[in-house]
Homo-oligomer: A and B are copies of this chain.
């Protein structure tokens, strides 16, 4: 059961850590109950019904009175999708003024996949084991060379902000992400989903695990009504 301060490892060198949170089912209940001036000190059984009602009817604003602050380590390719979620706050490791870290994402063999189907209805299938192995080798070799060139540019005196141009989007970055439950559910609905890239889905599943632990009634209602953000 992951909680505040805990870390869930994701992919080969990544993680999602819940750095801090002020997030309870009660905050949803009171966000709604201020409508009729009947806030509570603690939840009772009827309030579970209230949360389910809010989720089903799409009354979204009561889900915003809380905070999850995550510390995340992911490949840049994953971070780029993540940072398109605008109703939340980000700070990221800067490659302008700080050096990169030598960690790159190489998918497990079982995750080296090919894309089949037509536009609008793509799906993915594993490649044969020999191809997977070749692809892993190629990635590993490329990452090593990219790293060497990055170092070479730095040694030549080239500024970090330019040297980074050679770094591939498979390299890991780190960031802080602060988000409320409404925006978190939007993220999870889109990213812990069939059509999402498999890698970001692993991260979104970790985010969802923390969410389910801290706000179990809200999470259950989210699942019950089709995993759509209200």
Task: List the interface of chain A (C-beta within 8 A of B).
Answer: 19-22, 27, 30-32, 34-37, 39, 53, 57-58, 61-62, 64-67, 69, 71, 75-77, 80, 83-84, 86-87, 89-94, 96-98, 101, 105, 107, 112-115, 119-120, 122, 124, 127, 131, 134-135, 138-139, 142, 145-146, 149, 152-153, 156-162, 164-170, 174-176, 178, 180, 190, 195, 197
Contact = CB atoms under 8 A, between A and B. Distances in A.
A114 B65 contact: no
Contacts of A168: 146, 165-169
Given A112-B162, A142-B146, A166-B168, 13 more contacts: A19-B30, A21-B22, A27-B69, A31-B91, A37-B98, A53-B120, A75-B165, A84-B90, A97-B119, A127-B158, A139-B166, A146-B146, A164-B169
A34 B169 contact: no
A178 B183 CA distance: 14
B32 A91 contact: yes
